[in-house]
Structure 1
């Protein structure tokens, strides 16, 4: 009993220290951002917040001159949010449908097609960015959110993880659904999607971060400062 309590205390202490270690740089950056530029240059990074929170953040969010451009930081955040949500939602939906077709529609080319999709992980965006640009330009989708999101909406990673999860679902669920008169779409929506909530959340977070952190792709696909 004593060892169990000591182990719980030790585990929580390690987790708390790890969380503080990760949060501390973010807190110092935030606290320093509430001081004036001159004060930070003279005294270094600060641990305690200053008195210029509303002044500094009002300028950076709503004043284009603060970012040395023609758009505000708020517009930049909005564009990143649209790209992140578009990537996450699109990749989750496409990956779920592709994995469902590969696992449950047992056609002859299912396995080869899966490995073709999976092999695209060997081709990063930088390798295929020129032909992707030509396709987007040919479709007239430059300077549009559709042109930013649609070409990268497929995800071999998401397809792989959903495929592995669907393969772990017992076949008895499919047989029971058939006995109840459920078709493929009903089985997918009413049974597989609720079972996949945890996987959906994990893939959504990963893909949202991928979309949010995109820099090279939007830089090449847009010339409009508003995007």
Structure 2
């Protein structure tokens, strides 16, 4: 029997409230800054209540061109980020599903060696191998392209490992039943394994989408054309160097807008995300 003490409940809720305030306060300040003029933000102390320039600042952030350190507006940058994130996410999940399927259900020489070779790439993230990767991509002529932004990031040892562990829990009787019914390997994969893996796919979709959306270092090297800037690079380009004035209200408005797609993905898929992480069948 759980001992329910009122003071423990109050303390736990107090800790949660303090944690939420610590996390949310910088976001609130960013939103407040996005509703004031640039002059009001640099005053001391900075206003802590929203101002009257919300629509003006967000319109300038989304559709302004030529005055934000770039000739491309934020809407186009967000489209580049969205396409990049979706291609990375879908590609990682598809490749990982097929890789795990082959490792678990097929017999071929050096199968475990192939699995451990994939697993060991966890120790070699793109930041470690960024120079040879950049050289290969450049020699293939994929600079300033969606292929160059996504293909080097599309493989995932983590997702392969998670799907492999899940496939190992699928009963052998299910495999035998599918074989008796005349299902081939790909039909068994499509009609049985993929539907069973939907919670894992949903959890990985959220993680990989945020991973793809927040990419900074690789797009920074890959893109020299403003037409291929993702929004994260666009925000950095808005911060003028030297003594040039920075429109912090526009920068903060852009940052708030850039947070909306990943936040929407998390909120819309929260149920599947949690279920995919804590599913007892795994």
- When residues 31 and 120 of structure 1 are mapped into structure 2, their CA distance, relative to the original with a 3 A threshold, is same
Superposed displacement of residue 12, structure 1: 6.1
Q: Find the counterpart in structure 1 of residue 23 from structure 2.
A: 22
Q: Whole-Å Cα distance in 2 between the matches of residues 49 and 188 of structure 1?
A: 53
Deviation at 1:110, TM superposition (A): 1.4
Q: State the partner residue of 2:61.
A: 60
Give the direction of change, closer, same or farther, for the CA distance of 1:179–1:210 in structure 2 (3 Å limit): same
TM-score (norm 1): 0.89
Aligned residue in 1 for 2:173: 172
Cα RMSD for the two superposed structures: 2.3
Q: Runs of 5+ in structure 2 lacking a partner?
A: 229-282
Count how many residue pairs are aligned between Structure 1 and Structure 2: 227
Which stretches of structure 1, 4 residues or more, deviate above 3 A after TM superposition? 1-21, 43-47
Once the two structures are superposed, what CA deviation does each residue of 1:29-72 show, in whole Å capped at 9, x if it has no partner? 11221011111211444442211001111111111244212122
Q: 1:187 to 1:140 in 2, by over 3 A?
A: same
- Tell whether 2:223 aligns with 1:222: yes
Deviations 1:119-175 (A, max 9, x none): 111112133222222222222222110121112211111111111111122212111
TM-score by length of 2: 0.73
When you count helix as a share of all residues, which structure comes out higher?
Answer: 1
The answer to whether 1:139 aligns with 2:140 is yes
Partner of 2:205: 204
Instruction: Report if aligned partners of 1:92, 1:203 keep a CA contact under 8 Å in 2.
Output: yes
Alignment of 1:154 with 2:155, yes or no, is yes
Q: Any gaps of 5 or more consecutive residues in structure 1?
A: none
Moved more, 55-64 or 8-17: 8-17
Higher relative contact order (CA 8 A, sep 6+): 2
